Amino acid sequence: MQFDVVKKDNFFILQISGRMDAVHSSEFEKECAALFEKGMCNAVVDMDNVEYISSAGLRSILFLAKKIRTGCGEIRFCGLHGIVEEVFTISGFKGMFPIFDTCDAALKN
């Protein structure tokens, strides 16, 4: 898994690529914790380059969402497709979070 961060307006854009699974989920949580230390309160999670997500990856997303919502922030997702979109649908995450086709659309709403 690769993890890049871009700050735009009052959002941190988390660009993830590769696999979000048990091997990489703790790394994702550590990276997010460091961003909270830097003042992150709103996030757009760009899943366009995520190849696979497991239950451990979903747990990491819940960790991020809980931290953001506790701080009265917003979390949005974009770029879901293929197996990642299917997992979001089956798990009910599509009903829990705002989902957009692109990062630009996520930032505008």
Sketch the domain layout of the chain as residue ranges.
2-108
DSSP 39-85: T---EEEEEEEEEEE-HHHHHHHHHHHHHHHHTT--EEEE---HHHH
Is the predicted pLDDT of residue 49 greater than 80, yes or no? yes
DSSP 101: S
Per-residue pLDDT tens for 75-106? 999 999 999 999 999 999 999 999 999 999 99
CA–CA distance, 109 with 49 (Å, rounded to integer): 22
* Class for the domain spanning 2-108: alpha beta
pTM score, whole prediction: 0.91
Nearest to 57 by CA among 91, 6, 96, 81: 91
What percentage of the chain has pLDDT greater than the value 70?
A: 100
CA–CA distance, 46 with 102 (Å, rounded to integer): 8
Question: Cα dist. 96→17, 22, 27, 61 in Å?
Answer: 22, 22, 24, 11
